[in-house]
Structure 1
Amino acid sequence: MIPSDSIPDIISNNQINVIRLVNPGYIGGGGSTGSGCIINKQYGLLVTNVHIANDIRQLNCHYLIKTSDNKIISRYRNGRVLYCEPYRDLALVSLEFTGSDDKDNELTDQFVLADQKPADFGEQLICIGYPKPYRLQSMTLGYVCCGRRTFNETMFSYSVSSFIHHSSGTISGYSGGPLIDEMGRLAGIHHIL
C-alpha cells in the first residue's frame, strides 16, 4: 500500500520521466497521442506501446526537463522508433538530438526499473499519462486486480501476453505511460484494453 503522504513525492520525482507522444500517421491518417517512459537518459531511450508507434519510424515527443534551479521546462523532439515487440505491446523509441545547432541531450532523469517479479495481487500502482486532448499530465491510482494474463488484440491481429490487470482509471492517451510502484519504480506500461 502506498502511503497517501508519499504519493505527491512519487509523482513529482517521476513526472519528468513521462513523455507525451504524437503519432501523426496513425491508422486513417487522423493522428494519435499516447505516453512514454524514459528508461535511459544518456541515450534518450523510452518505451511506449506498439499501438502508439504503429509501424511508423518517427513520433513527435513532448517532454519535461528539470533545470538546475528546479524549474520544469517543456521541450519537443522527434523520436525514432527503433524496435517493436507486438506480443508485449512494447516499442523502443530514441529521442533525436541533432547536435551542433541544437542543445545536447538535456534529459535529467530516468525511471528506475522494478524487480522482474510479477506485481502482487492487491499491490497499489500509480499511473501517469497525458489524457487526450490535453497537454498536461494527470494521474490515477489503482490496485493489481489479478495475475498476469494474455489478451487477444483483434484490432492489430496479434495476441499480447503478460499483462498486469489493474484498477487504475483507463483514460485515452495514457497508453504507454508508467505504472509506478510504492518505491517509485517503473513496474509496467499502461495499455487500455
Structure 2
Amino acid sequence: MRSIIRAGGLSVLALVVAVPLLAATPAAAQQSPVPFDAQRGVFTFATGLERALPAVVQVTTLGQSEGPSSGENEPRPISSGSGAIIDAREGIVVTNNHVVEGGRKFTVDMTDGRIFDAVLIGTDKATDLAVLKIEAPSVSGLGLSQIEVVNSDALRTGDLAFAVGYPLGLDQTLTMGVISGMGRSGMGDRIEDYIQTDAAVNSGNSGGPLLDSRGRLIGINTSILSGGGGGNDGIAFAVPSRILMYVVAQLRESGEVKRGTTGAIFGSLNAQRSRDLGLGIVRGAVIEDVAPGSSAEAAGLQRGDVITRIQNRPVSNAGTVAATIGIAERGTRLDVVYLREGHEGRTTLTVETPSERTSITGADVVMARGASVRLASEGLQVFAVEGGSAAAAAGLQAGDLIPLIDDTPITGLDALAASLGGEGRRVLSVVRGGEPVEIILP
C-alpha cells in the first residue's frame, strides 16, 4: 500500500455497551440494527462477511532476479499485495496496478493454502487497477469462491466498511471502520473518485476489497494518506466499484482501457483561482480552454466556466470530471451544470473518440501528451496532468516550469506545441520547487 505524501474505527465498546439496551429480549435482538447471533449471544457481522473471505487472495509478483541462481536468472518475489476473485468460473482476480507492475510471473495464494499461477490480463495506470486470471486446466473445477459486487453509488457517509487483505506480512486480516467520505480526489495524477474510509489499511492491503456490512464488494483499497512513516493514520482510499467494473470489463475484453474526450481542458478550482474569477466557492473544475470543433465547444462551454455538477454529481475539482468522463462510453451524453460570470447554466457534453493529434492548442493553453500548460509570470507552467497519460507516467507534475526541451529554450506556447506535438522521445528540463528535474517523455 502506497502512502500518499506527494500526494479510529467505530468503537466496538460502543456496540457492546449500547446495543444490548435495545435488545434486552431475544425478540428485541432480532429487531436490532446490528445482527445478533442468539446461539452465542453476541452481535456479529460474521455471517455476511464469511461468504466473501475465501475470495480474498494474496497476490505475489515475481520479477527478474538481479543475479544468477543455480546458473539461472529465476524470477524472484519483488512485491506482494491482495486481490479479490470477482468471477470464480473464469478465475478472474482484480488487484492494483502497482502490485503487479514490473512483474514477469504472478501467483495467487488462497485462504485454504492452495497456490496458483496467474497471467496478467491487463492494467490501467489511470485508476491503478489490474486484472489477473488464474491458470489451471479447468478453473471451474477448482471450487473457487467469488465476491458479490454492488454499485458504490448507493453508499452513504457513515455506512460501516470492512477492509480485507494481507497487511504487513500477516495472514488474511479484517478491519472495520466507516465510510468517511465520497468522491475524494486531488491526491495524484490519476482518475480519482475515491471512497475514503477509516478502516485500518496498511502495506499489503493494496488490491484487497473494501466490503459493506453484508460482505459485498464496494471498492478496491489502493492508497493511504499518512502523516509520516507510511503507517495507518485512519485515512484510506478505495477505487469505487462503479469505476472498477467499467475498467475490468474493458480489460477483459481488449486488455486495455480506451477513454473518450470532450475537448475541454480542465483545471481544479482553488482559493486563488476563485479570487481571480470573482467567485465565492472553492470547489469545482475550471475550463482552462476548449479545443475548436470539439463537443465542449458544441455544448457552448467557454474558457473560465466553472463546472459544479456533472451527471448530477457534485464536482470537487478536475479529478471528479476526469473520473466521470474516464468511465463513459464514446457517445455518452453528460449533463453539466456550470457557472459563468456568477450565473448558473446547464448543457450536455458528448464524449467523443480521442483525436489522433498529440497536442491541442487553445488561445492560452496547450495540452500535449497529457500535460496541460499555460504561460505564467514565471514561464511555461504545467497546471494539470491527465491520469494515465505519458506525462503522468514520466513523473511530470502540476506546478512544474518548462524552460528547456531537448536542450532547446522554449519561450512560448507555439514552440511548446511544436516540440511536443510530434512523435518520439523528448527530454524536458523542468524546474520544480526551485530545483532542476529531468523528465523523459516517451
> Structure 1-normalised TM-score?
0.81
Q: Which residue of 163, 172, 177 corresponds with 2:208? A: 177
> Match of 2:106, SS?
strand
Matching residue of 2:117: 78
CA distance in 2, matches of 1:23, 1:105: 25
Report if aligned partners of 2:63, 2:104 keep a CA contact under 8 Å in 1.
Answer: no
For 1:117, the aligned partner's letter is D
In the alignment, structure 1 residue 12 sits paired with structure 2 residue 43? no
Find the structure with the greater CA-based Rg: 2
Give per-residue Cα distances to partners, 1:68-92, cap 9 Å, x unaligned.
xxxxx32101111111112221111
Report if aligned partners of 2:49, 2:213 keep a CA contact under 8 Å in 1.
Answer: no
Report if aligned partners of 1:21, 1:60 keep a CA contact under 8 Å in 2.
Answer: yes
Report if aligned partners of 1:113, 1:187 keep a CA contact under 8 Å in 2.
Answer: yes
> Match of 1:143, SS?
strand
How far off is 1:11 after superposition? 2.9
CA distance in 1, matches of 2:104, 2:193: 26
For 1:147, the aligned partner's letter is M
Are the structure 2 counterparts of residues 151 and 53 from structure 1 closer, same or farther at C-alpha, using a change threshold of 3 Å? Answer: farther
Query: What are the ranges of 5 or more consecutive residues in structure 2 without an aligned counterpart?
Result: 1-9, 11-32, 36-42, 67-75, 225-442
Matching residue of 2:101: 54
Report if aligned partners of 2:50, 2:215 keep a CA contact under 8 Å in 1.
Answer: no
RMSD in angstroms over aligned alpha carbons? 2.4
Are the structure 2 counterparts of residues 50 and 105 from structure 1 closer, same or farther at C-alpha, using a change threshold of 3 Å? Answer: farther
Matching residue of 2:149: 113
Higher relative contact order (CA 8 A, sep 6+): 1
CA distance in 2, matches of 1:57, 1:36: 18
Q: Which residue of 68, 74, 96 corresponds with 2:135? A: 96
CA distance in 1, matches of 2:97, 2:155: 22
Give per-residue Cα distances to partners, 1:32-62, cap 9 Å, x unaligned.
1110000000000010011101143531110
> Structure 2-normalised TM-score?
0.37
Are the structure 2 counterparts of residues 151 and 81 from structure 1 closer, same or farther at C-alpha, using a change threshold of 3 Å? Answer: farther
More strand per residue: 1 or 2?
A: 1
CA distance in 1, matches of 2:53, 2:205: 13
CA distance in 2, matches of 1:55, 1:150: 26
For 1:51, the aligned partner's letter is H
CA distance in 2, matches of 1:160, 1:74: 35
Matching residue of 1:87: 126
CA distance in 2, matches of 1:160, 1:53: 19
Matching residue of 1:161: 192
For 1:80, the aligned partner's letter is V
Query: What are the ranges of 5 or more consecutive residues in structure 1 without an aligned counterpart?
Result: 65-72
Report if aligned partners of 2:62, 2:103 keep a CA contact under 8 Å in 1.
Answer: no
Report if aligned partners of 2:60, 2:77 keep a CA contact under 8 Å in 1.
Answer: no
CA distance in 2, matches of 1:58, 1:152: 30
CA distance in 2, matches of 1:40, 1:96: 14
